[in-house]
Amino acid sequence: MYIRPFDPWKAKLCTCPFKYTLNVYTGCDHGCVYCYITSYIPNAFRVRTKERLLEKLERELRKFNRRYIIALSYSSDPYPTVERELGITRRVLELFKSYDVRCLLLTKSDIFKRDIDILSELRCAVGVTVTTVNERKAKLLEPNAPSPRARIKALKNAKKAGIPVYARIDPIIPLYTWEDFEKTLDALSFVSHITVSTLKLRPDSKRRMFAKFPKLMEKLWPLYERGERIGGYYYLPRELRLEILREAERKIVERGITFGSCREGYRSFPSCDGSHLVPH
């Protein structure tokens, strides 16, 4: 089955409402230093297509209960570089349109602007992840992803086309992207909902962070060592984490935007993932 119930490894702190997920591709070439899919997908930064995806998906959609949401995609970006040429995600969206599927799209690319024509006819909400609007830092963190500026511009175009839009500021990295949080928020002030999440490290992402940001990690890692270990992830110390989340929430809500948090054991309203924006 390509459409699967979303189950983030039964994460203790996940508060997601029930939804399905579909990964159009296996792997993702944005190559984010902090990425977690490398812990369970071999060669995760090499993008592969899926065997007879469209044909099998159509069969699954015939039986799919349209009450539910399908999220694109949680274990690989639906718009890796190769999507420009292959257009597989576009064809998936065409199928969603034929079967009137409710869809929650999330990407770190601007390629989706090509598909605004279809997205505006779907019951969907579109989100982009922006860790920081600082272009230099974003290039270091997400070397192959389109620039934050391009993502935000594409999201503004989606909003102009009448599509509900949201954003994720995820991960928040203390002493690094957290420094730009206010500016990042200002650039995203046109969205309806923002979900935040603090950096959670696994052994492989920790190694990549140390290799790329040795000085930063010299300061950051001692914090994580004092922090919690939840479901195989290193978390910041609880008090520091809650302090960041409280401040993020205040700044988001005072801009008239609703607030969500992801795998933090902290509140979200009306939803943690923006799924409340998907029309019924």
Task: Report, in Å, the least distance between residue 29 CB and ligand SF4.
Answer: 7
Element holding 72 (H helix, E strand): strand 69-72
Which listed residue (24, 32, 104, 201) binds ligand SF4 by CB under 6 A?
Answer: 32
Strand, helix or coil at 103?
A: strand
Tell me the two tokens of residue 72. 């694109």
Task: Report, in Å, the least distance between residue 173 CB and ligand SF4.
Answer: 13
**Is the C-alpha dihedral spanning 110, 114, 120, 124 positive or negative?**
negative
Tell me the two tokens of residue 221. 């890692």
* Identity of the residue, 109 or 258, whose beta carbon is nearer to ligand SF4 in the bound complex: 109
**Among residue numbers 9 through 28, which ones bind ligand SF4 (CB under 6 A)?**
28
C-alpha span between 127 and 233 (Å, rounded): 25
Residue whose token pair is 């297509």: 49
Which listed residue (20, 22, 77, 131) binds ligand SF4 by CB under 6 A?
Answer: 77
DSSP type of residue 146: P
Tell me the Cα Rg of the chain. Answer: 18
Binding mask 79-118 for ligand SF4 (x = CB under 6 A): -----------------------------x----------
# binding residues, ligand SF4 (CB under 6 A): 10
Q: How many CB atoms lie within 10 A of CB 265?
A: 16
Task: Report, in Å, the least distance between residue 200 CB and ligand SF4.
Answer: 12
By CB under 6 A, tell whether 31 contacts ligand SF4.
yes
By CB under 6 A, tell whether 172 contacts ligand SF4.
no
Which listed residue (16, 35, 101, 167) binds ligand SF4 by CB under 6 A?
Answer: 35
- 8 in Cβ contact with 16 (< 8 Å): yes
* Identity of the residue, 46 or 246, whose beta carbon is nearer to ligand SF4 in the bound complex: 46
Which residues have a Cβ under 8 Å from the Cβ of 262 and sit 6 or more positions away?
14, 168, 170, 195, 196, 197, 272, 273
By CB under 6 A, tell whether 173 contacts ligand SF4.
no
**Among residue numbers 142 through 171, which ones bind ligand SF4 (CB under 6 A)?**
142
**Which residues would be at the binding site for ligand SF4 (CB under 6 A)?**
28, 30-32, 35, 37, 76-77, 108, 142
